[in-house]
Structure 1
Amino acid sequence: MSSLPDKVPVTAPEPFIAADRQIAEFTVRAVVLGTLLGMVFGASSLYLVLKVGLTVSASIPVAVIAITLFRLVSKAGGRDSTILENNIVQTAGSAGESIAFGLGVTLPAILILGFDLDILRVLLVGVLGGLLGILMMIPLRRSLIVAQHETLKYPEGTACAEVLKASELSKGSADDSSANASRAGIIFAGFGIGLLYKALNVAFKGWKDVPEHVFGAPLKAGSVSCEISPELLGVGYIIGPRIAALMCAGGVLAYLLLIPMIAFFGDALTVPLAPGVKLIRDMSPDDIRGAYVLYVGAGAVAAGGIVSLIRAIPMIWLSLRDALRSFGGAGVGQNSMRSKRTDQDIPMKWVLIGSLLLVVAIMLATPLHMNLLGALLILVFGFLFSTVSSQLTGEIGSSSNPISGMTVATLLFTCLIFLLVGWTGGPYYVTALSVGAIVCIASSNAGTTSQDLKTGYLVGGTPRLQQYAILFGALASALMLGPILIKLNDAATVYVPIAQVAPGLSTDAAPLTETATLQGPQAAQDAHRYRVWHKTDLAGGPAGKYLVDDQGKVVYLVDPGINGSYKQRPDGSEVRKYDAPKAVLMSYIIKGILDRQLPWALVLFGVMIALVLEMSGVPSLAFAVGVYLPLSSSMPIFVGGMVRWAVDRRRNRQAEHRNATADERNAAGDRSPGVLMASGYIAGGALAGIIIAFTAGVLSDFDSFITDWSTSHNPFFEGANADLFSVLPYALLIVVLYWAGREAVRPPPKA
Structure 2
Amino acid sequence: MSLQSALLGYLLSLMLRFRISPQENVVLQTTAAATGTMPLAAGFVGILPALGLLEIEKDGSPPVTLSWVGAVGWSCAVAFFGVFLSPPIRKQVIIKEQLRFPSGTATAQLIAVLHDIPPPGSSARRRKGYRALSANEDIDIPDTVNPEEAAASNNDSYDEERETVRQEGWTTLGWSFLASAVMTLTSYFFPIIFNIPLFGTYLATGWLWTFTPSLSYVGQGIIMGFPTALSMNLGMLVGWGILSPMAKYSGWAPGPVGDMTNGARGWILWVSLAIMVSDSVTSLVPVAREIISKGLTTSSGIRLPRTPNPADNLNHDIDAGPQSDEEVETGDRLVPKEWVIWGLGISVILGTVLVWLVFGHEGIKPWATLIGFAMGGLLSILGVRALGETDLNPVSGLGKISQLLFAFIQPGNVVANVIAGGVAEAGAMQAGDLMQDLKTGHLLHASPRAQFYGQLVGSALSIFVTTTAYNLYTRAYPIPGPQFPAPTAYVWLSLARLLRNGQLPEQSANFMFGFALFFCIISAIKTRANRHRVWYAKWIPSGVAFAIGFLNTPSFSLARLVGGVIEYMYHRRWARDGGDIRLIIVASGFVLGEGVISVVSLVLRTFGVGVVSCLGCAPGLCPGCST
Q: TM-score, normalised by structure 2?
A: 0.76
Match of 2:173 among 187, 193, 207: 187
**CA distance in 1 between partners of 2:336 and 2:347 (Å):** 17
Confirm or deny that 1:407 pairs with 2:394.
Answer: no
Contact 1:410-1:436 at 8 Å conserved across structures: yes
Please give the per-residue CA displacement for 1:340-397, whole angstroms capped at 9, x wherever unaligned.
Answer: 66xx421112211111111111222211334233223222211112212222222222
Contact 1:117 1:486 (8 Å CA) reproduced: no
1:594 paired with 2:500, answer yes
Aligned mates of 2:330, 2:434 — CA distance in 1: 22
Residue 571 of structure 2, aligned match among 627, 635, 648: 648
Q: Distance in 2 between matches of 1:242 and 1:185?
A: 29
Q: Bigger shift: 581-590 or 220-229?
A: 220-229
Distance 1:90 1:648 in 2: 25
Letter in 1 for 2:588: S
Selected match of 1:675 from 584, 604, 615: 584
Which structure is higher in RCO with an 8 Å CA cutoff and minimum separation 6? Answer: 2
Q: How does 1:248-397 map to 2 (within 5 A)?
A: 248-266=233-251, 280=254, 284-287=256-259, 291-316=263-288, 318=290, 337=328, 339=330, 344-365=333-354, 366-369=357-360, 370-397=364-391
Residues in 2 aligned to 1:238 and 1:230: alpha-carbon distance in whole angstroms? 12
* 1:563 corresponding residue in structure 2: 480
Q: Is 1:441 paired with 2:426?
A: yes
| Structure 1 position 70 matched with structure 2 position 13 | yes
Task: Say whether the 8 Å CA contact 2:244–2:268 is kept in structure 1.
Answer: no
1:614–1:306 distance in 2 versus 1, CA, 3 Å: closer
- Shift in Å at residue 459 of structure 1? 0.8
Task: Name the SS for the 2:109 alignment partner.
Answer: helix
Structure 2: gaps (5+ residues): 55-62, 119-154, 299-322, 526-540, 623-627
Listed as ranges, the matches of 1:119-134 within 5 Å are 119-134=68-83
**Which amino acid in structure 2 is aligned with residue 697 of structure 1?**
T
Aligned partner (choices 89, 92, 99) of residue 140 of structure 1: 89
Match of 2:606, SS state, is coil
For 1:599 and 1:697, locate their aligned partners in 2 and report how far apart those are by CA, in whole Å.
39
Note if 1:154 corresponds to 2:101: yes
Distance 1:311 1:219, change over 3 A: same
The number of residues matched between the two structures is 526
Q: CA contact under 8 A between 1:610 and 1:620: conserved in structure 2?
A: no
Deviation at 1:188, TM superposition (A): 3.7
Tell me the equivalent position of 1:89.
28
Distance 1:111 1:388 in 2: 30
> Aligned equivalents of 2:518 and 2:278: distance in 1?
14
Q: Superposed, which structure 2 residues align to 1:7-46 within 5 Å? A: none
Inter-partner Cα distance in structure 1 for 2:421 and 2:12? 39
**Unmatched 5+ stretches in structure 1:** 1-57, 267-272, 327-331, 493-560, 565-575, 656-667, 712-716, 724-751
Q: For the Cα contact (< 8 Å) 1:221–1:285, is it kept in 2? A: yes
- 8 Å contact from structure 1 (residues 213, 223) kept in 2: no
Cα distance in 1 between the residues matched to 2:293 and 2:366:
26
Contact 1:237 1:640 in 2 (8 A): yes
- Whether 1:110 and 2:51 are equivalent positions in the alignment is yes
Say whether the 8 Å CA contact 1:610–1:621 is kept in structure 2. no
Measure, in 2, the Cα distance between the counterparts of 1:217 and 1:94.
Answer: 42
Q: Measure the CA separation in 1 of the matches of 2:349 and 2:380.
A: 19
After TM superposition, the structure 1 = structure 2 runs for residues 218-233 of structure 1, keeping only pairs within 5 Å, are 224-233=209-218
The TM-score with structure 1 as length reference comes to: 0.64
Q: Distance in 2 between matches of 1:459 and 1:693?
A: 40
Q: 1:67/1:324 Cα in 2 relative to 1: closer, same or farther (>3 Å)?
A: farther
Cα offset, 1:678, TM superposition: 1.2
- Taking structure 1 as reference, are residues 349 and 683 closer, same or farther at Cα in structure 2, changes over 3 Å only? same
- Does structure 2 retain, via aligned residues, the 8 Å contact 1:157–1:452? yes
Letter in 2 for 1:390: V
| SS of residue paired to 1:255 | helix
Aligned partner of residue 368 in structure 2, secondary structure? helix
Structure-1 separation of matches of 2:68 and 2:433: 25
CA separation in 2, counterparts of 1:219 and 1:124?
41
Listed as ranges, the matches of 1:409-488 within 5 Å are: 409-419=401-411, 424=412, 428-488=413-473
Q: CA contact under 8 A between 1:239 and 1:641: conserved in structure 2? A: yes
Instruction: Select the residue among 542, 545, 548 that pairs with 1:622.
Output: 545
Aligned CA distance change for structure 1 residues 433 and 464 (closer, same or farther; 3 Å): same
**What is the letter of the counterpart of residue 304 of structure 1?**
M
1:243 aligns with 2:228: yes
Inter-partner Cα distance in structure 2 for 1:108 and 1:324: 43
Alignment CA distance shift 1:88-1:61 (3 Å): same
Structure 2 residue matching 1:94: 3-state secondary structure: helix
Larger proportion of helix: 2
**Identical amino acids, percent of aligned pairs:** 20
Q: Secondary structure at the match of 2:179?
A: helix
CA distance in 1, matches of 2:436, 2:117: 24
Distance, in Å, in 1 between the alignment partners of 2:420 and 2:204 is 44
Q: Which amino acid aligns with 2:49?
A: P
Q: Is the 8 A contact 2:187 2:194 kept in 1?
A: yes
Provide the rounded CA distance (Å) in 2 between the counterparts of 1:313 and 1:364: 34
1:538 aligns to what?
A: none
Secondary structure at 1:98's aligned position in 2? helix
SS of the residue corresponding to residue 161 of structure 1 reads helix
Distance 1:188 1:156, change over 3 A: farther
Distance 1:433 1:261, change over 3 A: closer
Q: Distance in 1 between matches of 2:116 and 2:489?
A: 45
1:212 to 189, 197, 201: 197
Structure 2 residue 110 is matched with structure 1 residue 169: no
Structure 1 residue identity aligned to 2:544: L
Counterpart mapping for 1:493-642 below 5 A: 561-564=478-481, 576-599=482-505, 601-615=507-521, 618-642=541-565
1:685 to 591, 594, 597: 594
| SS of match in other structure, 2:115 | helix
Shift in Å, 1:325: 12
Aligned-residue Cα RMSD (Å) equals: 3.4
| C-alpha distance after superposition, 1:659-686 (max 9, x if no partner) | xxxxxxxxx86x4322221122112112
Which AA in structure 1 matches 2:349?
A: V
Match of 1:40 in 2: none
Q: Is the 8 A contact 1:129 1:440 kept in 2?
A: no
Secondary structure of 2:209's match?
strand
Q: Which protein shows a greater Rg?
A: 1
Change (3 A) 1:322 1:164: farther
Secondary structure in 2 aligned to 1:169? coil
> What whole-Å deviation, never above 9, does each CA across 1:698-733 have from its counterpart, x for those lacking one?
0x2x315x13xx53xxxxx4599x99xxxxxxxxxx
Deviates more, 1:601-610 or 1:80-89: 601-610
CA distance in 2, matches of 1:643, 1:318: 38
8 Å Cα contact 1:386-1:444 kept in structure 2: yes
How has the CA–CA distance of structure 1 residues 597 and 200 changed in structure 2, closer, same or farther, with 3 Å as cutoff?
same
